[in-house]
Chain A
Amino acid sequence: MDKEYFIKLITGLLPILLFLLITNPLLKLLMAVIYIIYSIFSGFRVKLLPNIILLFSIILINLLSPQGLILFKIGPQAITKGALLSGINRASILIGLLYISKNISLKSVKFRGVAGEIISDTFFYFNQLTSGNRVVFKNFMDQIDTKLMELTHIKDEKTTNTNIKTNNTNKFFLLIATTLILLIDKYLLTF
């Protein structure tokens, strides 16, 4: 295993695992916000409004299944602390993972063997699907069909990814930031 491959593997996969180990929903949200800010600094075009809408709609959905302390009631619906936190948790996972994967191209990690190739290709195409034009629900099937066509005819530029220059010291930022937040989660917070 060459050194470059190893570094890519660590900086790529470890932040994801560490992020998922954070148990406090508010810290998870903070982490997701840090990923977004980092993405902006890395030059990605980030739209904030869709993320905010996503956050609030997932929280709203989770509030429908009560869990834990009743904070207040809106009509017949009890708004509970547990449901609120579980909504924040889910939304943060979704948003956080989206922006980690924007920053680390799993495709640049070369998995070995045929199975590895299929998995890394799957993540490559998945990134293409999520980063393309927004899919609307009208004519959903047609849009999917068009996307599949596009994916099939992407020239295999992914094999010549040496021209995509990514700085490894930058990549360590994600790993270090996630580790710090995880340490706070495990050792400093006791509520």
Chain B
Amino acid sequence: MILKPFDVVLVFVSLITITLFFINTLSSDNSISYVKVEVEGKEYLYPLDRDETEVFNGSLGTTTVEIKDGSAAIIDSACTNKTCIQIGEINKNGESSACLPNRVLVTIIGKENSEVDVLAY
């Protein structure tokens, strides 16, 4: 037998702790999502779980996208109406934000070709 008595106990304690942790964060979706930014015919991908601020050059000027705490938002843009900033944070699969005058589209996507996508739609 490769397991000693307290190995089993410790694995069990570990499982219970993980379950408690899981229940604690159950409300949130755990799949890795990406932020897809489309601008001027180019596509950019950023993992949603890594905090980052990126500046994109659109047709009018720059649009700043901030990824923070698992959410993405357009925080600054060279447009006049600023509706994109009002959209605020997006974080769920399929949600999107856009600065249409500057032609910047920000979309949250699941890990590409994963089953999560199939289930989500």
Contacts and interface: CB of A to CB of B under 8 A. Distances in A.
Report if A and B touch in the complex (beta carbons < 8 A): yes
Given A67-B50, A70-B42, 20 more contacts: A65-B47, A66-B34, A66-B45, A66-B47, A67-B45, A67-B46, A67-B47, A68-B45, A68-B46, A69-B44, A70-B43, A70-B45, A76-B112, A76-B113, A77-B112, A78-B43, A78-B112, A80-B44, A80-B45, A82-B46
Contacts of A69: 42-44
Interface in A65-98: 65-70, 76-78, 80, 82
Nearest to B45: A66
Contacts of A82: 46
Interface residues of A, number: 11
A69 B45 CA distance: 6
A77 to B, nearest CB: 7
Contacts of B44: 68-70, 80
Contacts of A70: 42-45
Contacts of A65: 47
Contacts of A66: 34, 45, 47
Nearest to B52: A67
Nearest to A77: B112
Interface in B71-121: 112-113
Nearest to B38: A70
B51 to A, nearest CB: 13
Top 10 A-B residue pairs of the complex, sorted by shortest distance between their CB atoms: A76-B113, A66-B45, A70-B43, A76-B112, A69-B44, A80-B45, A78-B45, A68-B44, A70-B45, A67-B46
B30 to A, nearest CB: 16
Contacts of A67: 45-47, 50
A175 B46 CA distance: 36
A70 B46 CA distance: 10
Contacts of A76: 112-113
Contacts of A68: 44-46
